Amino acid sequence: MGPEIILVMIAGGALFFYWNAARDAAEHAERLGRNACDAAGVIWLDQTVHAHGIRVRRGDDGKLGFERSFRFEYSHDGIDRHIGRLVLRGRRLVSFIGPVRPSVSEFPPRTPLS
């Protein structure tokens, strides 16, 4: 077996590892997007997420890894369309913009200024 074959096998293994990690991240993002829509009581449109970007970032442990961005669409009434975004660093969700459950927050009473 020549050195060319070994290099091709290494490249093939690296490509398979990258594809497998990207597929796993997309499936994880899909679950997160669907769960967020269910929790907020909105309609998750198109039943999928779309890869939006990828970059190399350092994790909390200082190791290099991929940070993948995804987007998805949701609707409140089936007519309007809104875009949600989420960012995964590895399998950890680091950013989310999308539907939230409506809630009312109470503000503390204002105190007069002296």
Query: What's the CATH number of domain 3-97, 3.10.450, 2.60.40, 2.20.28, 3.30.810?
Result: 3.10.450
Q: Is the pLDDT of residue 105 over 70?
A: no
Q: Model confidence over 59-88: pLDDT tens digits?
A: 788 888 899 999 999 998 888 999 999 999
Q: Spell 13-37 as b/e; 16+ CB within 10 A means b.
A: eeeeeeeeeeeebbebbbebbbebb
* Average pLDDT of the segment spanning 25-50: 92
Cα separation, 104 vs 27, in Å, equals 33
Q: Is the pLDDT of residue 56 over 80?
A: yes
pLDDT of residue 61: 83
Cα separation, 88 vs 32, in Å, equals 10
pLDDT of residue 70: 96
Q: What are phi and psi of 23, to 5 degrees?
A: -65, -40
Q: What residue spans define the domains of the chain?
A: 3-97
Cα separation, 70 vs 67, in Å, equals 10
CA 66 to chain centroid, in Å, comes to: 12
| Number of residues in the chain | 114
